[in-house]
Amino acid sequence: LRRPALSLARTYSLHSSRLLSTLAVLESSAPSYSVLSAAAKVGGPLTVLLAGSNAASAAESVAKFDGVEKVLTASSGAYDHALAENYAPLIVENVKAGGYTHVFAPASAFGKNVLPRASALLDSQQISDIIDVTSADTFVRPIYAGNVILTVKSNDPIKLITVRSSAFPEPAPGSNAAPIESAVDPNAPSSTEFVSEDLTVSERPDLGSAKKVVSGGRGLKDKENFDKIMYPLADALGAAVGASRAAVDSGFADNSLQVGQTGKVVAPDLYVAVGISGAIQHLAGMKDSKTIVAINKDADAPIFEVADAGLVADLFEAVPELTEKLKK
């Protein structure tokens, strides 16, 4: 891997004074448009790369966003499951062809999978999970579960960056009509093959992007209570359901619902924490929510330190009552 990577990096360092330009790599099945807001902060033209069987239809939507100069598509089934072994050469070849100075991708399972491999091939130090762009070479990212905010400057000629989507606004589609062109498709041979995936399917709003989230913790005592209390509350609010790790580990909720340092990071308009103490690892996943409501019987629970509205009450009485009132 290293030999071509080094020569590519050297090629780019010769041209490091050229103008900025960004390639945003989005997942064509579920594009995270917040990445476009982050990339726009760098300045310079913005090209979007979409790959997979449905890249062409995703491109129609992406081309409408203001600020997008061009959309590149690689309409091949080889990219459908975002295997890093296939995707990384695609990114590298398009960076090489387009001479981009920046490559942005979401800090989602997709970006965390494909971008490190592309970074290695380009011999560049990836900058992960940024929450702000200070300048074209300086970025802000949390470490230690959000307890320390780091400002990092990169001297790499090509900067590969993953973006925490919840930290940037989701732009509304504009009236742009960016040209859609074919990407350079290396059709790289791969020794990795997609076999199958086992996904949790839900009719409810997606936890990662929902505007409202209600999360339950160990205070619910068991799975039956979790289902009986949290889902009617979620339905009354039109919210996604989340859970603390203690609730997940105790089998109250599926592990795809975990919010926190080792779960999903969410920043909805409304986050309701029910029977959750507010451990630092949980706060790392939700403290940037716009309005936080906590219901806990312990007035000293740390969740109240981050809550905008708190109710010290027994959840088994308060939540069903709240649900009934919301339904009316």
Q: Which residues bind ligand FAD (CB under 6 A)?
A: 217-219, 244-247, 258-263, 275-277, 279, 281-282, 285, 296-298, 301, 314-316
Q: Which is nearer to ligand FAD, 298 or 305 (CB)?
A: 298
Q: Which is nearer to ligand FAD, 32 or 296 (CB)?
A: 296
Q: Which is nearer to ligand FAD, 125 or 250 (CB)?
A: 250
Contacts for 188 with CB less than 8 Å, ≥ 6 apart: 85, 86, 89, 90
Q: Where are the extended beta strands (E) located within the chain?
A: 22-25, 46-51, 68-74, 102-106, 127-130, 132-135, 138-143, 148-153, 159-163, 180-182, 212-216, 240-243, 270-274, 291-296, 309-312
Question: Quick one: which H or E segment has residue 58?
Answer: helix 55-62
**Contact predicate 126/160, CB 8 Å:** yes
Beta bridge partners of 285: none
Q: Which is nearer to ligand FAD, 90 or 259 (CB)?
A: 259
Q: Which is nearer to ligand FAD, 41 or 228 (CB)?
A: 228
Give the tokens for residue 280: 């630092």
Minimum gap (Å) between residue 110 Cβ and ligand FAD: 20
Q: Which is nearer to ligand FAD, 117 or 245 (CB)?
A: 245
Residue in 300, 298, 295 with CA at minimum distance from that of residue 316: 295
Q: Which is nearer to ligand FAD, 58 or 243 (CB)?
A: 243
Rounded-to-integer distance, Cα 48 and Cα 171, Å? 15
Minimum gap (Å) between residue 267 Cβ and ligand FAD: 15
Minimum gap (Å) between residue 326 Cβ and ligand FAD: 18
Minimum gap (Å) between residue 261 Cβ and ligand FAD: 4
What is the number of the residue whose Cβ is closest to ligand FAD? 260
Minimum gap (Å) between residue 316 Cβ and ligand FAD: 5
Give the tokens for residue 33: 């448009």
Minimum gap (Å) between residue 279 Cβ and ligand FAD: 4
Using N-to-C axis directions, what is the helix angle for 2-14 and 109-121, rounded to 10°? 80
The SS3 call for residue 78 is helix
Minimum gap (Å) between residue 278 Cβ and ligand FAD: 7
